[in-house]
Structure 1
């Protein structure tokens, strides 16, 4: 079963009063999403398989999520990562833009993503034998010439990610 990022998006909203930053992800860019605390919502259960007949569009930790198909301009990404890591956001953070972070994770454990230096973070709970896709979009209110994504992972979790700027972010409520 093919899972598109639009179908797999999480409705996640993060509001930080001191920073004036809000992030939202939804099933469609033109559909308002409900305000929720940051959490991971898994797509419907699908059988896990490693055979050669695996759908190439299925989420995988061995390839970066394909965020470009949603009109998002990709900046950077990584595949088959185990453990914690830090990746710079090329060009820094631009006020008024929406940062889209897509992640695939697998194996039991927790993966936390921090957008530095904004103070925004969100956790993901990963499962054994199943690749879980997640998407979070965060509207940036301040410029930061130097910024990065910090991933804090339990040692057994394998993950991949892609990050980019979304020119058509979901509507905020």
Structure 2
């Protein structure tokens, strides 16, 4: 027999052996049938395993606080406020033609609203008593603004912190 024919025969035998091995591993054995309930009998299912618990509210970020102003990912703060209650208007000075970030944390029952002028950005944040709610908004400005203000409207039941930066 030529070496090529032997090699082809070995390949065929290996392929057949692999297929038969897979079938043997996935097939049933006699002991599988011995432990199964009779046909038509109710079967008990094993208790299911729950996946890891994740926060149910996307606004909740573990580790965030209202007692400190949120930390900017990059850039420098234009204004920061920590542990505030109620409404407030803050001057943020000149706004450059670059990304502008607004980070807000709140805790307490109610809805907080942030407005950024003259950019026209406005968004609500639903706050709850049990945990800190957080949001991060970023917009890329194409034109600079000579001065800007950020306004927060919140019920007295809500404590909040905020950072605006570039």
TM-score (norm 1): 0.59
Q: What is the distance in 2 between the residues matched to 1:43 and 1:125?
A: 10
Cα distance in structure 2, aligned partners of 1:74 and 1:111? 21
- Shift, 1:89, TM fit: 1.0
1:61 corresponds to: 66
The answer to whether the 8 Å contact 1:41/1:134 transfers is no
Aligned length: 110
Equivalent positions of 1:63-142 (< 5 A) are 63-67=68-72, 70-90=73-93, 92-95=94-97, 97-142=98-143
After TM superposition, the runs of 4+ consecutive aligned structure 1 residues lying more than 6 A away are: none
Q: 2 CA distance for matches of 1:66 and 1:164?
A: 10
Q: Which has the higher helix share?
A: 2
> Which residue is equivalent to 2:59?
42
Task: Tell me what 2:19 maps to.
Answer: none
**Normalised TM-score (structure 2):** 0.61
Decide whether the 8 Å contact of 2:102 with 2:138 is kept in 1.
Answer: yes
Q: 1:103 offset after TM fit, Å? A: 0.9
Shift of 1:142: 2.6
Instruction: Describe the SS at the equivalent of 2:95.
Output: coil
Query: What does residue 8 of structure 2 align with?
Result: none
Bigger Rg, structure 1 or 2: 2
User: What is the root-mean-square deviation of aligned Cα atoms in Å?
Assistant: 1.8
Shift of 1:72: 2.6
- Residues 65 and 102 of structure 1 are in contact (CA less than 8 Å); yes or no, is this contact kept in structure 2? yes
Partner of 1:23: none
Gaps of 5+ in 1: 1-39, 47-57, 166-173
The residue number in structure 2 matching 1:146 is: 147
The one of the two structures with greater contact order (alpha-carbon pairs below 8 A, sep at least 6) is: 1
CA displacement at 1:93 relative to structure 2: 1.7
Post-superposition offset of 1:98: 0.7
User: For residues 155 and 119 of structure 1, what CA distance do their matches in structure 2 show?
Assistant: 25
The Cα shift of 1:75 comes to: 2.1
5+ residue gaps, structure 2, are 1-56
